[in-house]
Structure formats: structure tokens, C-alpha cells
Structure 1
Amino acid sequence: MAQFNYLNELNSLATTMDGPITRGPPQRWVKKSNNENINPSLSASFKNTSNVNISSCNQSMQKLSISTNQSCNNSVHSNKTPTRNEPKKGKKTPSKNKSPGRSTTPTPNKATKTPNKADRFIPSRSNSNYDLCHYMMSREDDKGEEVVAQKVAGEAIGRALTDMEPGRLLQYTCKAPAAPEGYQNRLRVVYSQAKVPSSVKNTTRYIPQAPDRILDAPQILDDYYLNLLDWSSSNILAVALGNAVYLWNAGTGDIDELMTLEGSETVCSVQWVQGGGSHIAIGTSAATVELWDCEKKKRLRIMDGHTGRVGSLAWNMYVVSSGARDGGVVHHDVRQREHAVATLAAHTQEICGLKWSPDGRYLASGGNDNLLNIWPIAAGQRYSQPNYLYSFNQHLAAVKGLAWCPWANGVLASGGGTADRTIRIWNVNTGANLNTVDTKSQVCSILWSTHYKELISGHGYAQNQLVIWKYPLMSRVAELTGHMARVLHLALSPDGTTVLSASADETLRLWKCFMLDPKKKDPVESKAAKSLLNLNSLIR
């Protein structure tokens, strides 16, 4: 039963395939008849072609049609599919060589379900001369010269291709002419702006977000106007805790107590001498400056000159400058018996920031009166001029964060308090404000990196974080968080790789944020090393 169903499905499929084509594009002979009706001139030109060639072509096609029809009718009536081997019995497969001819559309016979005899013309395409037919159909009598010209051009192109080297279709016979001397392409400026400079591509580096070490700092004073931390070039850290000063050896981890004040007096500032010596200056709440020898743990002398507590200190070779709550700055020459060599009426309120430039030419002082003053050393004078060179009043709060750039001459960074919250970059050679950035937090301290063109700032209300800035764009490189209170003080290690932060949460945190790649050598480091070497030679 299944075999009869299979034969019925094959018969119905053959009947469907042998039937007329009702869908799809029109047949070729229908297209040709439509074109003849639309463009009679084309058919007329075709009839005017060579009768000899057309007659010979028609005779060959007629013979081919008769032979094809006979083979088609034999295959239909015998219900067999012609193959190279013996025919298979019992199966009916539609012929694959059937195609629409030029006769009318065939009508299937209902009795046998097969097409009528001689229903359409099926040419053999392999025996057709398509080149000759295409030439006859496309040629016109009035365009003979154009055909000849095209033929000549094709032959010329063929000869040119055969004369060329194998594998090369296009080649230049001569090089492009060179540009005249001094010529600059204007488009080069446009395309060069889209490229990223090589210095920017290689600035990404790994910056640890967690501190390398955390130290306890009990009884550290939570006072914005004091400077209680300093790291010497001999890798000794001095920290003022209450009324005492402690020394921490970063190499060995040893902790020693240097001195302790009596009574209710407190330590307000500490500052190591330049050049890697063992001497340190200590400012007290008793309006005095004490000079100590840390190796012998001995106080060498006490220097006065102020009427208020000494909250800031700065060394310039053998002279230590002190800023106090009375608003004055006193230069102390530690070599002389009369140590006060100059006194400056710098500010109307307490001085909380004091820094000498690396070359020793300028002194920057920041006060609670929101002023930033620049004091020069004039040639031929004893030490310092009584009048400032510049007095900047752009800050809206106390100016405590001060830092001179170690690799750019005359560049100073200053930071304002809670009401200001900005970091400003100054060029003291011209008095210009190079850049200003709003940090959104109180700026307590600033440090420049000696390895990268960056600076780091410590902040108070309300973020309590450390921020690394890219110079000169002043874009944020990284933010270091972890302190629970404002970051009051910052200190840089002698090798320039580690930053130590002191906070009001009574902790000291060491951040390895300026680590160098051992395979690379930064030019900033070599320049800073050269300047330090020159400074050491002057001290000696």
C-alpha cells in the first residue's frame, strides 16, 4: 500500500512540473516578442542582417529541435528517465533538460497527464554560437566605425597587458615629484591633532588604592594651621605628637623620642635641615624656635623673635625662616650669635604655610588672611627685601598648602581652605596664574612628584582623601581613600616613591603611589637629582 502511495505522489509531482509556469519572471520568448513590439527599429535592424548566417543558424536549430522533440516524446510515453546506464523501471522522474520554448504554452493531457507532442522548442545551449548572435543583435550599420575603434582599443590594451611584468596589473612609470623645500602640508595639522602623543599613551600605571603600611599617631593635634610632619633625606621621619617629637627610621622601623616640652606647651612645627644633616628645627607654642642635634639628642640653641606660636618653618641652606601667629617672618642664621638677620611684616594674621624655592631665590608665605606673598632675595642685599614681589589675593580662605615644583623653575602650587577649596598654579617669574582647579574639599597640603609630572594633595572637609593630579592639565589621575578624618600633613620619601599622610584620625599611612618602572628612567628624576647635587655642593 505504501508503494502505491509513493507512486501516486511521484505522478502528481511530475504533472505539476510539466504544467505551465504561472509564477516567476516571463519566459524569454515572451520578453523578445514584447521588445519587438516596443522597439520595431531593433527588429528591423535584426532582419537586415546577413541572410546567409541567419539561414544557416535556423537550419541548425531546426535539426536540433526535431531531435530534441523526438527524444522528449519517447521519454514521456515510455515513462522512463534516460540515463547513461540501463533505465530504471517502476519510477518516473521529470526530465531536467526541459525548458520553455518559442511555441505556445503546452496544455497537459488529462488522460495521460503528460504534455502534448511537439509542444515547445528546447535548444541545446552548448551548440549555440553566442558570440555571433550577440554581435548580430548589437551591431547597427551606422555604428560600424565605433565598433572598429573599440576593437582597436581592446587590442591595444591587450598588448599593453602582455608587455607588463607578470603579476602586476598596475604600475607607475615614474615616481611622484618631490615637494619643494620648505613646503608644509596644511592637512598635516588636521591629522596630527587626532593622534595621541606618545607621552600620554605611556602615562597609565598601576597605583595601589590601599596603603602599604599604617602607623599609629596618638595625640596628634587636629589643627589646620600647624605643620607637624617632615621626612629627611636620610630616611628619618619626624612627627610631633602633643608636646613631644618622635623619630621613626623608615629603613629599620626603630622609633626614638627626641624631646618633650614641659608644662602645657606643645610642638607646632618641625623641619629638617637641607642636605641630609642630622639637625632639625622645632617651633613651639612658646613663640620660640629650637635647634636640635638628632644624633646626640641634644638641643643646640633656642631662637626667639616672635610674639605668637611658630606654626611654620622653612630652611634655605644655613638660614631657617619661621612664620608665627603674629603674622611676621623671621630669618634665623644659625651660624651667627645674632641669629635674626631679617624680619618681614608678611601678613595680618597667622602664617600657616612657608616654603623656599629649590634654587633659594623666592620665599612663599601663606596666611590666614587669604593672601599668598612671594619674597625675593635681591643681589647686593644682606638677605631679603623688606617688600614682597607679588601678593596674590585670589584665594578665599587660609593658604596652607604650598609646594614648589622641583623640575620647573618658578612654578608654585597653592591650596586654599574650606571656603576656597581650589588649587592654583603660579609662575612667579611672570606673576601669572597658570591654572586653577576646584577640588570640592578643603586643601590641607600639597606635594610635587620627583618622578612624574604630577602632584598630590591632601584634603579635609568633606572628602578626607588624597588626590593625584596630572600637570599641567590638572586632571585627576587617582584618588586614595581610607582616612576617617581630614588629611592634615603630607611628606615625601627621599627616593620619591612613597607618600606619608598624617590625619586627624591619629593614623599615619604610607602610599606607594609614585613607584617607578625599573625598565624605564624618567628624565624628571635625573633633573631633580642634579639640582639636589648642586644644592649639596653649596651647603658644603
Structure 2
Amino acid sequence: MTKRKVLRKLKERKSNECSYDRFIPPRKFIDFDQSYYSVIYDHSSKTTPDILLQDINDWPACNYKSYLARLINYDFNSNHILPFNSKLEKFNKINHTIHWSVKPRQKPMIGTPWAVLDLPNFMSTFDRNLLDWGKSNYIAAALWDSVYLWNSLTSKTIPIPNPTSTAIRWNPDGLSLFTASRDSIKIWDIETSKPKNNDHTQRHCTQISCSVTAVDWFPYGHTQVMGCNRGSIVIFNEDGYKKIVNQGQDVSLHHSIVSISFSCNGRYFASSSFDSLVNVWTFPDGLLYLKIRTLGSTRGLAWHPVQHSYLCLGDISGSMALWNVSNRTIVAQYKPSTKNAVYCLAFSEITAELVTSHFLYNGLTNHSVKSELNVLASFDRVVDRIEGQFDDVMLYLKWSPDGTQIATAGADETLQIWNFISQSKITKKSYRKINHQSSKDICLSEKFKHIIR
């Protein structure tokens, strides 16, 4: 190195040196854009409000703040406006709590209802399941003396005589409808509108005054798991296979079954009853795998569409819990700060956002205030909401075949269909529909079919 270069470096080092005062920092190292951002936006509050008290516009504003901070290289972990050192800390992106795999929306999307239908004499009770939306685009609703099928695309209506219905459920391909009444169970062919098992009337189990109250189909076959008002759970298929899964397994048979739900890969199914107990069973052997005690009767059961062992529970105390069934651990919990009840849960197959049906109460008078639908990216973050549109409890959240719409129904005898996400959004990479069946799951499903049949 030449003498001239050495003198130049010494001169540059001397020019960069700065004397510090004990009270006045050097203005040379002040980032005025970052300082202005720190003054305007207060980041001192670390507590997150309850999801029922959050404003749905807070999430888009938070995204904007994050984008703005990234442009000016702002560090959320730093509270210094006038730094004493010359080294600017690198920007750290906001890390939101992630409880499950999800692709949340960047701004609210749900507006006014796409369609509103009247359901006269709709028997909306806590322990019955009388509404479903099948893959054939028919919405089935059990009214007083019949089950009515309504096509959301053509508005075609098909009545099926089935008085005193207690449970209905479409099969996975939407071509067969399971219906149960007080004295029989039937499977209807949608093309002929006639029952497939018309030659005989079947009972659920051997107990007196037994009627099916909850049912779900195995995702890859023609097998149903049914629960009755006497508390028994039965695996049944069209070939006549029948097995009572909770017989002799130290499970009470005196409480009505409220909900039954299969995991997306068919390895487990969960059941809940009035006794504040949720049981997880293995399939197809029907062995009790996990017993979960909740704070109240649980109607909301939702399996994650990608993380197949993740089960979300919501009870009438307003509490929610996310369980990893495979290792029997709790992933996350939610306890409300206000008095409310959770009546229904549903994961979106497209975005994996969790949709919750909350019924809010007045803490002083214990009277109902309102019912609202919340779209959650986690247990502490609301990204969309519907409120002021429901006069009573919402007991049903049902997805359209393509997952872009959701139907709500409850005690107000009204069915409302909402555009959950735009059709054009599905083509984008951020909202690409999740592929549920990996090669391993397909092989496993074929094995299940062979065993159960």
C-alpha cells in the first residue's frame, strides 16, 4: 500500500469519528424516517386483545405498517429514536403467532349474503344434525315432514319424505344421502330419489328408544359411523357390516351423541356428547385412542385439511383447543374474556382459515346479545367477521363443493349463503387449493376399504 493510500484511509477514519455528549446524541447517525415512524405508531403495547374484541380492520393496517417498516428498515424490537452508535439495526419482520398451517386473507372479503332461504319448521336443536351441503351442489335440510334438496346452481328443489328426521349426511361424492328418523335409517339415491335399502328398515342399535343424532361418512368409502341419543356409536356399511365401537370400553352409554367427524385422511374419527367429553377413535378397528375433557358440551369439531392429526374443539363455555391427536398433546388453547358460546367450527379447505360460530351473552344479565361468525388465522388473530346478520344461534357451517362459499343456518329458520372467497382468487398461488391426498394416504385409504368391506 502506498503512502498516499494510507494517508487517505487515516483521513476518512478521522472524518467518521465523532465526539459524543452525555445528553445530546450526534445527529449524523439519526434516521429521521425511522424516528418519525416510531413517533406516529406506538409499538409499546405487547398485549393482543381478545378475538371477539378485535377490529377486523386491524389486520390490514398491521400489514401496511409491516410493509412501511420494511421500506424504511425499521426495527420493531428497538425503541430508540436517537441512537448513540453508528450501526443501524437490521429490520426484523413481525412474527405473528402461528397455531396451524394457514394462508390468511390480507383484508376482509365477506360482504352481504349471496342468497337467503327460508327454512320453515326447521328443527334446529343442539343434539341433531339436520343440514348438509353435498358435492353434487344440493343442500339438504330436514323440515317437519320431509327432507328438501335445493340445488344452489339451478334452484331445483327435490322433496324426500322422511318424517321426524334426526340426522342427515351426504356421502363423499354427493350421490347418496343418509337420513335417520326415530325408527329407521335409509340411504337415498339422488338420481332416482328412492332409498337404496327400501326392502328393509334398519335400526341403529339394540337399545330401546334409540335414534341416530350424528353421522359421518368415511372419506374414501361407503361406510358410516353413527351415534344415537342413547350414547352408542356404531360402524356400519352397505354390506351389512355393523360394529358397536364403544361397547365395553369404559365409555358412558347414557349421553346423547352430539357430533361425529372423520379426519381428512380417515385414520381417526371424533365423537362428542352432552357429558363434556370428546373421544377420538381409530378407524377401522374402532378402538378408543384419546379421551378429552372439555369445559362444556362440545358441538364444534373441525379437522385441519392438511395437518391431518390436528383437531380443533369448541364448546358452549366459549373455549377452544387445538389438539395434535397423533401425540396426544395440546397445540394451542383459547379462553374467552367475555361470556360466549362456540356452537360450530369449520376449517376452509382452500386457505385453512378457521371459521367459528360465536353466540355472545351479556355478562350481567346473562341474556343473548348477538351471534357472529369469525374467520381466524390463529386463536389471537381475526381476519374477517360477519355480525349483525343473525337473530339466533348458528348451529351449522357448511361448505360448497368448491370451498368458495359457506352456508349458515340456525334457530332463526333462515339459511344464508356467503361468498367466503372469490372464484378468481383460487387461481392465484396464495389461494391454491390444498391437495388432501398424498400418495401414502391414498394407499392407506385403499387398505381401509379392503378391511371395512
Normalization by structure 1: what TM-score? 0.58
Shift of 1:522: 3.7
The residue identity in structure 2 corresponding to 1:194 is N
The answer for the alignment partner of 1:389 in structure 2 is: 289
Contact kept, 8 Å, 1:450 with 1:524, in 2: the verdict is no
Contact kept, 8 Å, 2:117 with 2:416, in 1: the verdict is yes
CA distance in 1, matches of 2:127, 2:213: 6
- SS of the residue corresponding to residue 303 of structure 1 reads coil
- SS of the residue corresponding to residue 429 of structure 1 reads helix
The answer for the alignment partner of 2:355 in structure 1 is: 456
Shift of 1:193: 7.9
Contact kept, 8 Å, 1:322 with 1:331, in 2: the verdict is yes
The answer for the alignment partner of 1:432 in structure 2 is: 329
Shift of 1:457: 1.4
Contact kept, 8 Å, 1:411 with 1:428, in 2: the verdict is yes
- Over the residues paired in the alignment, what is the CA RMSD in angstroms? 3.4
> Which sections of structure 2, spanning at least 5 residues, go unmatched?
17-74, 79-88, 361-367
Greater percentage in helix: 1
The answer for the alignment partner of 1:404 in structure 2 is: 303
Aligned counterparts, 1:145-160, within 5 A: none
Shift of 1:391: 0.6
The answer for the alignment partner of 1:528 in structure 2 is: 436
CA distance in 1, matches of 2:169, 2:213: 11
Shift of 1:446: 0.9
Contact kept, 8 Å, 1:231 with 1:491, in 2: the verdict is yes
The answer for the alignment partner of 2:398 in structure 1 is: 491
The residue identity in structure 1 corresponding to 2:130 is L
The answer for the alignment partner of 2:235 in structure 1 is: 331
| Cα distance per residue 1:404-458 (max 9 Å; x no partner) | 11111200011112xx211211110111111122354222211101121311012
The answer for the alignment partner of 1:368 in structure 2 is: 274
2:320 pairs with one of 423, 436, 455 = 423
Rg comparison, structure with higher value: 1
Contact kept, 8 Å, 1:333 with 1:341, in 2: the verdict is no
CA distance in 1, matches of 2:5, 2:289: 85
Contact kept, 8 Å, 2:265 with 2:437, in 1: the verdict is no
Normalization by structure 2: what TM-score? 0.68
Distance change >3 Å, CA 403–CA 193, structure 1 → 2: farther
Contact kept, 8 Å, 1:460 with 1:488, in 2: the verdict is no
The answer to whether the aligner puts 1:229 opposite 2:162 as a matched pair is: no
The answer for the alignment partner of 2:186 in structure 1 is: 290
Contact kept, 8 Å, 1:500 with 1:510, in 2: the verdict is yes
| Cα distance per residue 1:273-306 (max 9 Å; x no partner) | 11x14111112133x3211112111112233133
- SS of the residue corresponding to residue 220 of structure 1 reads coil
The answer for the alignment partner of 1:310 in structure 2 is: 212
Shift of 1:192: 7.1
1:259 pairs with one of 158, 161, 177 = 161
Distance change >3 Å, CA 270–CA 398, structure 1 → 2: same
1:502 pairs with one of 385, 399, 409 = 409
Contact kept, 8 Å, 1:232 with 1:272, in 2: the verdict is yes
Contact kept, 8 Å, 2:108 with 2:384, in 1: the verdict is no
The answer for the alignment partner of 2:93 in structure 1 is: 195
Distance change >3 Å, CA 295–CA 192, structure 1 → 2: farther
CA distance in 2, matches of 1:396, 1:416: 7
Shift of 1:339: 3.6
CA distance in 2, matches of 1:222, 1:398: 16
Shift of 1:315: 0.6
Sequence identity (%): 24
| Cα distance per residue 1:326-385 (max 9 Å; x no partner) | 000011121x2x3423442444301001011111111100010000101113xxxxx424
CA distance in 2, matches of 1:455, 1:159: 65
More relative contact order, 1 or 2 (CA 8 Å, 6+ apart): 2
Contact kept, 8 Å, 1:329 with 1:343, in 2: the verdict is yes
The answer for the alignment partner of 1:513 in structure 2 is: 420
The residue identity in structure 2 corresponding to 1:294 is I
Shift of 1:157: 8.5
The residue identity in structure 2 corresponding to 1:267 is S
Contact kept, 8 Å, 1:424 with 1:436, in 2: the verdict is yes
The residue identity in structure 2 corresponding to 1:271 is R
The residue identity in structure 2 corresponding to 1:318 is H
> Which sections of structure 1, spanning at least 5 residues, go unmatched?
1-155, 165-169, 172-186, 378-382
The answer for the alignment partner of 1:86 in structure 2 is: none
Contact kept, 8 Å, 1:218 with 1:241, in 2: the verdict is yes
CA distance in 2, matches of 1:241, 1:532: 41
Greater percentage in strand: 2
Moved more, 298-307 or 308-317: 298-307
Shift of 1:208: 2.3
The answer to whether the aligner puts 1:299 opposite 2:206 as a matched pair is: no
Distance change >3 Å, CA 240–CA 459, structure 1 → 2: farther
Shift of 1:488: 1.1
Distance change >3 Å, CA 342–CA 453, structure 1 → 2: same
Distance change >3 Å, CA 193–CA 202, structure 1 → 2: farther
Contact kept, 8 Å, 1:271 with 1:314, in 2: the verdict is yes
The answer for the alignment partner of 2:346 in structure 1 is: 447
The residue identity in structure 2 corresponding to 1:259 is P
